[in-house]
Amino acid sequence: MEPVTGDLPFDHTKLLELAATRMPFGKYRGRRLVDLPEPYVVWFAGQGFPPGKLGEMLHTVYEIKVNGLEYLFDRL
């Protein structure tokens, strides 16, 4: 049976993909998205996330960091 969060099943593959994806440009090029400094991710939130999948992933990292959920990546 698949774990359930609220009424929706939790998709572990998205979390694993997020944990493995690296920043493709800029000062933190090559760093895993989940390891980006919070102020940098907050800056993106203020400026606007890039379009496409990278922007969606950075927005997710932003939500994780500002809500103190970094522990989700401790075992990854």
* Domain extents in the chain: 10-73
DSSP state of 2: -
Question: Minimal CA–CA distance to 60: which of 3, 16, 8, 7?
Answer: 16
- The whole-model pTM stands at 0.81
Tens of pLDDT, residues 24-74: 999 999 999 999 999 999 999 999 999 999 999 999 999 999 999 888 888
Question: Minimal CA–CA distance to 58: which of 37, 33, 26?
Answer: 33
Q: State how far the Cα of 21 lies from the Cα of 33, in Å rounded to an integer.
A: 6
Structure tokens at 40: 């940098």
pLDDT for the residue numbered 1: 42
